[in-house]
Structure 1
């Protein structure tokens, strides 16, 4: 059995587990929005805000993920697809982005709802993906969404350069065969560019992809509501 867990880092409770800390982070996100709207670079804006509120590295990572300019928020909202529009459609899913976010959620790690309504986590694959205890539970949640909403086809896109991408491709391919699901799994050298240029609905919480794709669906937000997946979620909007 795989005993790896995607969960919290040591010290995350001190950084995110109190109303005092979350209140400070919400103010920091408001300041980030102001600066990004006035075309400050994200790095410069996060340094200014981080210094003002004396934020730690992981707190800065959280507010960067949650922040966006007014224009970005409007643009993403206009392109967001509702659940009823997914029936009989082909959907492209940002594999590592969505899978790791769901693994983090299911393991009790902190995840953060940003100004665009998307949830993001603080995990990274750092060039190599490792399956964890929550991996197949996450895949099963995606299956439930796929079947319930009569999606025609789901195409998983994974980063080919990431170590073990071939293994997760095989794992999901076998799961799809066993459950008679119309899923495809592809490896792409530049999945962000591929998904951003896709004409079909995209599932991702990657900010650059959301800014450049033609339409997207907030799967993790949907699953949290539909499956009542309430754990360590922090709303920073």
Structure 2
């Protein structure tokens, strides 16, 4: 992949929107939205109620929406989460864009959200197009280091084939795996979500809420990397109550 000068960093007004003094309001908004979701409110209407109440602008509302979840979803996700000691010798299936974009955001100095369910989610989005950034290879190497420490048997990466440049990223993952002798396979599929929701014989690595509400077993790799990272460049907003 060609060298890139772009980064998956903060937006121009993030320093104001996600400053330390905004944290109490954002945390309360997440708690309120989670309360509404637990009582059957639809996410769009609940988010509008909470956003209007606290006068949140759109980007703050996106953060609150990603961080909140209903009580039932929280309990299910906790129940199906696999601790690190259960990963050893197992096969894992990785939601590729989900993991790498979060790690790219970490390395690029963008906003990260520690959400109610313990997952770390970024504020980026991949809508039909993905472009490698300056930190892409570092993100892959960071993931590889943690996967090796977990002593997994093998890793199967899934990338969205409709997303532009997914083929290039898949080849980069294959090249690095061959060069470093990592036990990885890489596949581009129409819908990784559909595949991962039905995965039963491998542990799923993702922070995608839709997948987590169906996965039989999952591991919170991005959060483990980010929360325990010794590096000082993460902008992590803890939005848990």
1:71 aligns with 2:75: no
List gaps (5 residues or longer) in structure 2.
none
Partner in structure 1 of residue 216 of structure 2: 214
Q: In structure 2, how many angstroms separate the alpha carbons of the residues matched to 1:152 and 1:227?
A: 24
Q: In structure 1, how many angstroms separate the alpha carbons of the residues matched to 2:150 and 2:34?
A: 34
Q: In structure 2, how many angstroms separate the alpha carbons of the residues matched to 1:27 and 1:224?
A: 23
Aligned CA RMSD, in angstroms, stands at: 0.9
Partner in structure 1 of residue 49 of structure 2: 48
Partner in structure 1 of residue 20 of structure 2: 18
Q: How many residue pairs get matched?
A: 236
Q: In structure 1, how many angstroms separate the alpha carbons of the residues matched to 2:237 and 2:197?
A: 27
Partner in structure 2 of residue 4 of structure 1: 6
**Residue-by-residue CA offset, 1:94-132 (whole Å, 9 max, x unaligned):** 000110011001111010011100011110122111000
Residue 226 of structure 1 and its aligned partner are, at CA, apart by 4.1
- Indicate conservation of the 8 Å contact 1:223/1:229, yes or no: no
Write the mapping of 1:138-217 to structure 2, written as runs, cut at 5 A: 138-199=139-200, 200-217=202-219
With normalisation by structure 1, the TM-score equals 0.97
Q: In structure 2, how many angstroms separate the alpha carbons of the residues matched to 1:124 and 1:209?
A: 16
Q: Secondary structure at the residue paired with 1:33?
A: helix
Residue 15 of structure 1 and its aligned partner are, at CA, apart by 0.2
Q: In structure 1, how many angstroms separate the alpha carbons of the residues matched to 2:228 and 2:154?
A: 21
- Indicate conservation of the 8 Å contact 2:106/2:226, yes or no: no
Q: Secondary structure at the residue paired with 2:213?
A: helix
Partner in structure 1 of residue 34 of structure 2: 33
With normalisation by structure 2, the TM-score equals 0.96
Partner in structure 1 of residue 225 of structure 2: 223
Partner in structure 1 of residue 235 of structure 2: 232
Residue 229 of structure 1 and its aligned partner are, at CA, apart by 4.1
Q: In structure 2, how many angstroms separate the alpha carbons of the residues matched to 1:196 and 1:229?
A: 33
Partner in structure 1 of residue 88 of structure 2: 87
Residue 13 of structure 1 and its aligned partner are, at CA, apart by 0.6
Q: Secondary structure at the residue paired with 1:185?
A: strand
